[in-house]
Amino acid sequence: MMGSRMVKRLIEAGHTVTGYNRTKSKAKGLLDSGMVWGESPRQVAATADVVFSMVANTNALKAVVEGPQGVLAGLKPGKVYIDMSTVSPATSRELAAKVAAQGARMLDAPVSGSVITLEEGKLSIMVGGDSEAFERVKPILLDIGPKVTYVGENGLAVTMKIATNLSLAVQMLAFSEGILLAEKSGIKREIAVEVMVNSAVASPMVKYRGPFVLHMPEEAWFNVNMMQKDMNLALELGRQLSVPLPTTAVTNEFLTAARGLGLEEQDFAALFQVLANLSGVEG
């Protein structure tokens, strides 16, 4: 959903892009647009000066980086490897050390935004790692999104992303509470949504996802499983750093309830349906 659109923006900006995906058929549109096919992550890394990856979780990142056909095997001194996944900060730092041992540099550069944000050219990118490597690739990152912020050493950008993402789910649950309170009071759901997305609480997330309580997208922008992965990463960090995360913990339980209802592949806006069921309202 996100990686393919990033490739499209890079191609449109005039870059030569070599790409790999486990399922080649899913890359057909990009190949038709000029992307060159790489037979493995290793081949992509060997071909490119700057390598990007964006995968679902920590285990997926290890799978594409490590091993004889992984990114690490294709990196040479002077190359820059940018991972845009939201993963464990500790794992990101471990991989960065392995990359550095080969004379290359790794940056963690997760994004803040949705599919629509990316397509509209409004994506925000946060970056952690070597500052000189960051300055070198910053123009390329700006071709993906207009806001690029350097936050510090390796692992800190993905930490920032986790700190940001926990608020998305918490906001969605709070938004759902307000909509359901209005609806059970006699206000039509459509009207309640219209008022909320134009009110003081209307963050970009609320504006984009608020209407999902009326019509859920057929393909999730960011599904329940993916969001719960990030919430669990946040809770783990909270325990490590002695930072209590009460609203994160409560919202995470509602994500578990969504999975229990078979909604794990739906967008995390399915939090509304969980609360609606508890409220005796049809979701």
DSSP state letters, 96-165: HHHHHHTT-EEEE--EES-HHHHHTT--EEEEES-HHHHHHHHHHHHHH-SEEEEEESTTHHHHHHHHHH
For 50, the 3-state DSSP assignment is strand
pLDDT score at 238? 97
**Whether residue 190 sits in one domain with residue 221:** yes
- Distance, CA of 26 to CA of 24 (rounded, Å): 5
- Distance, CA of 147 to CA of 105 (rounded, Å): 22
Catalytic residue, chosen from 8, 98, 147, 161, is 161
**Whether residue 9 sits in one domain with residue 141:** yes
Q: Is residue 272 pLDDT above 80, yes or no?
A: yes
Share of the chain above pLDDT 70, in %: 100
| Terminal CA-CA length for the chain | 26
**Whether residue 121 sits in one domain with residue 11:** yes
Minimum mean pLDDT among 63-77, 105-119, 229-243: which range? 105-119
24 is catalytic: no
- Distance, CA of 98 to CA of 257 (rounded, Å): 39
pLDDT score at 195? 98
Residue 81: Cβ within 10 Å count: 27
Q: What is the CATH number of the domain that holds 81?
A: 3.40.50.720
**Whether residue 143 sits in one domain with residue 75:** yes
Q: What is the CATH number of the domain that holds 270?
A: 1.10.1040.10
Last residue of a domain, one of 154, 169, 194: 154
**Whether residue 8 sits in one domain with residue 144:** yes
| Residue that is written with structure tokens 């999104």 in the block | 145
Opening angle at CA 245, ends 243 and 250, nearest 5:
160
Last residue of a domain, one of 120, 139, 154: 154
Report pLDDT digits (tens) over 146-183. 999 999 999 999 999 999 999 999 999 999 999 999 99
Beta bridge partners of 169: none
Structure tokens at 19: 């790409």
Structure tokens at 236: 């783990």
pLDDT score at 283? 76
**Whether residue 100 sits in one domain with residue 178:** no
**Whether residue 171 sits in one domain with residue 148:** no
- Distance, CA of 74 to CA of 132 (rounded, Å): 22
Report pLDDT digits (tens) over 21-40. 999 999 999 999 999 999 99
Give the range of the structural domain holding residue 178, as residue numbers without chain letter.
159-279
Using pLDDT thresholds of 50, 70 and 90, give the confidence band for residue 121. confident
Report pLDDT digits (tens) over 237-250. 999 999 999 999 99
